[in-house]
Amino acid sequence: MSPSDNSRRGPSLVAPPPLPADIGIVAAMPIEVAPLIAQFKNVRKYAAKGQSIIEGRLEGKLVALVLTGMGRARAQRGAERLIDGHRPRWIVSAGFAGSLNPAILRNAMILPVDVANVEGRHFATDWPAGLDVPPTAERKGRLLTVDEIVLKAAQRVLLRVDHSADLVDMESSSVAALCGQRGVRFLSLRVVSDDASTDLPPEILSIMGESGSYRIGAAIGAIWRRPSSLKDLLALREQAIDSADRLAKTLLSIIPNL
pLDDT, tens digit (0-9, with 9 covering 90-100), for 62-89: 999 999 998 999 999 999 999 999 999 9
| pLDDT recorded at residue 11 | 41
Residues 6+ apart with CB under 8 A from 156: 98, 99, 100, 150, 168, 196
Lowest-pLDDT choice from 56-60, 116-120, 195-199:
195-199
Handedness of CA 109, 72, 187, 123 (dihedral sign): positive
Q: Is the pTM of this model over 0.95?
A: no
The whole-number pLDDT of residue 200 equals: 74
Instruction: Give the pLDDT confidence score for residue 202 in this predicted structure.
Output: 61
Least-confidence region, from 9-18, 53-62, 66-75, 179-188: 9-18
Q: Tell me, rounded to whole angstroms, the distance of Cα 141 from its chain centroid.
A: 18
> Which is nearest to 90 in space by CA: 35, 165, 138, 20?
20
User: Helices 30-37 and 229-254 meet at what angle, rounded to 10?
Assistant: 40
Q: Where are the alpha helices (DSSP H) in the chain?
A: 5-9, 30-37, 72-86, 153-163, 172-182, 204-207, 216-225, 229-254
Range 157-164, long-range pairs (CB < 8 A, 24+ positions): 157/100, 157/196, 159/100, 160/100, 160/101, 160/196, 163/116, 163/118
Q: Does pLDDT of 220 surpass 50?
A: no
Asked if 198 and 100 touch (Cβ cutoff 8 Å), the reply is: no
User: From its phi and psi, is residue 103 left (phi > 0), alpha (psi between -120 and 50) or beta?
Assistant: alpha
Q: Is the pLDDT of residue 236 over 90?
A: no
Task: Write down the domain spans for the chain.
Answer: 20-197+243-257
Give 162's pLDDT tier (boundaries 50, 70, 90).
Answer: very high
Find the mean pLDDT for residues 3-18.
Answer: 45
Q: Give the pLDDT score at 196.
A: 93
Q: In Å, how far from its chain's centre is CA 250?
A: 14
Share of the chain above pLDDT 70, in %: 79
pLDDT tier, 231 (very low <50, low <70, confident <90, very high otherwise)? low
Can you give the pLDDT at residue 94? 97
pLDDT for the residue 13:
42
Question: What pLDDT score was predicted for residue 158?
Answer: 96
Which of 117, 128, 136 is CA-nearest to residue 190?
136
> What confidence tier does 136 reach under pLDDT thresholds 50, 70, 90?
very high
Q: What distance in Å separates the CA atoms of residue 41 and residue 29, rounded to the nearest whole number?
A: 21
As a whole number, the mean pLDDT across the chain is 84
The class of domain 20-197+243-257 in CATH terms is: alpha beta
Of 204 and 87, more confident: 87
pLDDT at 223: 41
As a whole number, mean pLDDT of residues 19-45 equals 94
Q: What values do phi and psi take at 66, rounded to 5?
A: -110, 135
Question: 119: how many CB neighbours lie within 10 A of its CB?
Answer: 7
Amino acid at 111: L
